[in-house]
Amino acid sequence: MEQIQHKYVEVSGLKLHVAELGTGPKVVLFLHGFPEIWYSWRHQMVAAAAAGYRAIAFDFRGYGLSQQPPEPEKASFDDLVVDVIGVMDGLGISKAFLVGKDFGAGPVFHVAVLHPERVSGVITLGIPCMLPGFSVIPMHLFPKGFYVLRWQEPGRAEADFGRFDVKTVIRNIYMLFCRSELQVASDDQEIMDLADPSAPLPPWFTEEDLKVYSSLYENSGFRTALQVPYRTLGVNFVITDPKITAPGMLIMGEKDYVLKFPGMEEYIRSEKVKEFMPNLEIIFHEEGNHFVQEQLPEEVNQLLITFLNKHST
């Protein structure tokens, strides 16, 4: 970990924090979700660099050590695509493998559709290809207390999170989201109330990990994070041909709560997702949860390196 290099790349006038390990022409670009950050790819960066790849993870605008956009409430998924292309351009990278987790899968798919010449292959964890965007998720079928619906309400998550310090918020979200069931609050609850403060951290998520995450979110806060993804899920890209021809791999944990989304498991297991990604390999891990790359790094690293080696030229 101490060998990872840190720098800043300017994109659209904002300084984005970039972590990098390894050298060479074969590049892997890792895109985080929430409540994650560049650090959530620490295990994969080390494995990719050891296998001969240049491994890069960065904080999206408004996250971690990257600068906030001037008007966070106007941020959108379009900005994330700009961030990806801008980081690649700023680092002199013409083409890369894109790896995305959670909402980070969104810009992976959009870059692969809009800029196919820049993409060697696509790997996502926890989220299958959904084009033209996340609006295809049938939010009207979820209970009204579902965490995404709650966090879409301006000010509600801010008030909920504001009752606790940042470390407690991050801890609660990790503890809740590594469960296999959907997180739904009753009318007299907020999402943070669902967490059990006495429950121990899982063995794969240490107090030191929590400290790192907390320090990064203490720097950025949650203002942009609540806007993108949660409050922009209904906004789609204009895509004329929603198909990704690059080789792809989807890694899903059998215990990932995302599989409880209405229609999600059928969409994946029936391989309907391959209508958008015909060259997609689908991997289910029996014990995997929503944070499978941190929970089971050796298994995920093996899948990652095998895929990269197979599709590297």
Q: Respond yes or no: is residue 290 known to be catalytic.
A: yes
Catalytic residue among 59, 79, 83, 102: 102
Asked whether residue 236 carries a pLDDT value surpassing 70, the answer given is: no
Catalytic residue among 39, 53, 174, 230: 230
| pLDDT in the model for residue 155 | 96
Burial degree of 181 (CB within 10 A; 0-12, 13-18, 19+): exposed
Averaged pLDDT for residues 64-85: 96
Asked whether residue 225 carries a pLDDT value surpassing 90, the answer given is: yes
Catalytic residue among 17, 43, 285, 290: 290
Per-residue pLDDT reduced to its tens digit, 48-72: 999 999 999 999 999 999 999 999 9
Q: What is the DSSP string of 64-98?
A: TTSPPPS-GGG--HHHHHHHHHHHHHHTT-S-EEE
Per-residue pLDDT reduced to its tens digit, 139-184: 999 999 999 999 999 999 999 999 999 999 999 999 999 999 999 9
C-alpha 130/C-alpha 136 separation (Å) is: 7
Contact 100, 127 (CB under 8 A): yes
C-alpha 193/C-alpha 195 separation (Å) is: 5
Domains of the chain with CATH codes: 5-141+234-311 (3.40.50.1820)
- Confidence at 200, pLDDT banded by 50, 70, 90: very high
Per-residue pLDDT reduced to its tens digit, 24-33: 999 999 999 9
Q: Respond yes or no: is residue 267 known to be catalytic.
A: no
Q: Respond yes or no: is residue 115 known to be catalytic.
A: no
Share of the chain above pLDDT 70, in %: 99
Token digits for 17?
A: 């924090």
Higher-confidence residue: 170 or 136?
170
Asked whether residue 239 carries a pLDDT value surpassing 90, the answer given is: no
